[in-house]
Structure 1
Amino acid sequence: MTQPDPASPPPTPAADLPLYSPARVRDLLALHGLRPTKSLGQNFLIDGNILRAIAEAGGAARGVPVLEVGPGLGVLTRELAARGAQVTALEKDERLGPVLAETLAGLDVSVVWGDALDFDYAALPAGTRVIANLPYYITGVLLSRFMGAPGVLSATVLVQKEVAQRLAARPGEANYGFLSALAALHGTVRHVRDVPRGAFFPAPDVTSSVVRLDFDRSRPLPDPAFLKFVEAALHHRRKTLRNNLRLVGFEGEAISAALEAAGLRPDVRAEDVPLEDIRTLARHLGVIR
């Protein structure tokens, strides 16, 4: 039998490892009889460099109100709180209660139990910054909620790389669509960094990206009727704009007149049309004034 080298240091107990280490994560899950739930999009971050990059890019600092959606084991939450941010963590899975009570003990963090889809984002205080590893299956819906919440200044989030590309795309680019237009209507998007699958436990099936969306609150929120029109116009983005608008009930002659007024070709594809031209179409079709 091979004897251990007396000069080698003993292995570090899991409890003494950083919370984001794979061994500590596995130990916490085992201790509380938990397994990551795929239907809730539970992929826990296990890379300290990524955690610090998200907190830094998101603007977590002393006195800043921060909303985290889906804290999981509290790994990112601890990083945010350690920087002095006033953290509210919104979590749906109440099985995580004992874990968060342990990992967030002594920290200035308010845990709100409930579904992120039912939360009143409009009630968040002015200057709130969202910083979160979002559940991938509801990313688009949550981003639209953040955009529509007047108190939210920015959202720095981990999303699928494909979603990040769509958020940052511009008219004429391959990934441009309604989500791109929605982000542009509310502010700006900055790609922070890509995140490999190995930065999570368990590893997801896709590469992720950190993006920061800054919302221009000096602008009025977009007219809901215009948002609905933009969504219809870009619903089948590779089809012609004319066809998309006919699908939602606009008459052919009215569409032709609006396209001409906007200086657009009759066969222009939806994905190639700048937002200002879509706004011109909406005015000529009586959707907005």
Structure 2
Amino acid sequence: MPLHSPARVRELLARHGLRPTKSLGQNFLIDGNILRAIAEAGGAGAGGHVLEVGPGLGVLSAEIASRGARVTALEKDERLRPVLAETLQGLDVTVVWGDALDFDYAGLPGGTRVIANLPYYITGPLLSRFMRAAPIVSATVLVQKEVAQRLVSPPGSDSYGFLSALAALYGSVRHVRDVPKGAFLPAPDVTSSVIRLDFDRSRPPPPPELERFVEAALHHRRKTLRNNLRMVGHDAAQIDGALADIGLRPDVRAEDVPLAALEAVARKLGVIR
């Protein structure tokens, strides 16, 4: 039986006395077509270095490694040691045991691609770490469909927010495909999506001051940009002057302001130069 088949997954779990842990976001992929689509979209290929977060039973790890990629897999659940020793035997996969939120992503080899079925409860913090890690050039990940919609949404749309703007600050993002609940065991409560983020490492990373400014500007995205900036201490008169200088209405809602305009406001207010 292929490693991703429901019968094989159930057999592995039963034989090792395991049950998926909801608090760790453990929903194991059991659809071969989805596995192949993720590996393909992520650019897994011979000689490339891939980082995976949350390998679980090693199903996606094995698919990526079968394409010739060198895989580093971060796993927090120590109960999975004997399972991964079995399912990844003979494959070019190095398992690093520990919390993905504590991992040093800056120490990865240059040109690393992330390909992963992310634990949903830490999706946002992980994506932020991927964006800021210079060695990582792309991240092709399974996330909640709601998160995927936020990431790909343009200014003015219902789902646009800080995560959308952050992705645009570092590069670009595209939707690959939706994934039904039945592609997992156990089935999650929500529909999932595969997205790919590409990070433009040819340009300098955005300054932390700009990131903090954009986050504050979009913290209450349906409120006016003016009010959001006043809430974090900017002078009302200076805000009005900045908005007027770049042609924005004083009552413009934060979610309707393009990223380039937010950067222009930040410069007018002296947040960045």
Normalised-by-shorter TM-score class: over 0.9
Question: Distance in 2 between the 1:288 and 1:36 partners?
Answer: 46
What's the secondary structure of 2:100's corresponding residue? coil
1:10 paired residue number: none
Candidates 164, 169, 182, aligned match of 1:185: 169
Aligned AA (2:244): E
Identity %: 78
Partner Cα distance (1:222, 1:122) in 2:
16
Q: How does 1:34-45 map to 2 (within 5 A)?
A: 34-45=18-29
| 1:91 aligned residue (63, 71, 75) | 75
Alignment map for 1:160-175 (pairs within 5 Å): 160-175=144-159
Partner of residue 3 from structure 2, selected from 19, 22, 32: 19
Local SS of the residue matching 1:227: helix
- Match among 103, 113, 131 for residue 119 of structure 1: 103
Partner of 1:29: 13
Counterpart of 1:154? 138
Q: Which amino acid aligns with 2:229?
A: L
Paired with 1:115 and 1:26, the residues of 2 have a C-alpha distance of 25
Tell me what 2:113 maps to: 129
Query: 2:244 matched to 1:244?
Result: no
Work out which of the residue numbers 277, 280, 288 in structure 1 matches 2:261.
277
1:54 aligned residue: 38
Task: Provide the secondary structure at the position in 2 that maps to 1:130.
Answer: strand
> After the TM superposition, which segments of 4 or more aligned residues of structure 1 sit over 4 Å from their partners?
none
SS at match of 1:88: strand
- Equivalent residues, number: 273
Please state how far the C-alpha of 1:268 moved relative to its aligned partner. Answer: 0.1
1:217 aligns with 2:196: no
Q: Distance in 1 between matches of 2:175 and 2:265?
A: 31
Please give the alpha-carbon distance, in whole angstroms, between the structure 1 residues aligned to 2:10 and 2:106: 36
Secondary structure of residue in 2 paired with 1:174: coil
1:138-153 matched pairs, under 5 angstroms? 138-153=122-137
The alpha carbon displacement at 1:213 in A equals 0.5
Aligned match of 2:250 in 266, 270, 276? Answer: 266
Equivalent position amino acid for 1:144 in 2:
S
CA distance in 2 between partners of 1:280 and 1:194 (Å): 35
Q: Which residue of 2 aligns with 1:4?
A: none
Task: Work out the CA distance in 2 between the residues paired with 1:162 and 1:285.
Answer: 33
Distance of 1:285 and 1:38 partners within structure 2: 45
Q: What is the alpha-carbon distance in structure 2 between the residues aligned to residue 96 and residue 112 of structure 1?
A: 12
Q: Output the TM-score relative to the length of structure 1.
A: 0.94
Question: Does 1:68 pair with 2:52?
Answer: yes
- Cα displacement (A) at 1:276: 1.0
Deviations 1:227-265 (A, max 9, x none): 000000000100000111111111211111111112100
1:77 aligns with 2:61: yes
Aligned Cα RMSD in Å? 0.6
Q: Distance in 1 between matches of 2:115 and 2:173?
A: 14
Question: CA offset at residue 38 of structure 1?
Answer: 0.4
Greater shift after overlay, 67-76 or 278-287?
278-287
Match for residue 85 of structure 2? 101
Partner of 1:255: 239
TM-score normalised according to structure 2 size:
0.99
- Secondary structure, in 3 states, of the residue corresponding to 1:39? helix
Give the match's secondary structure for 1:182.
Answer: helix
SS at match of 2:102: coil
For residues 197 and 146 of structure 1, what CA distance do their matches in structure 2 show? Answer: 26
Structure 2 distance, partners of 1:275, 1:176, is 11
The whole-number CA distance in structure 2 between the counterparts of 1:242 and 1:103 is 55
Compute the displacement of 1:174 (Å).
Answer: 1.0
Unaligned runs of 5+ in 2: none
AA aligned to 2:77 is D
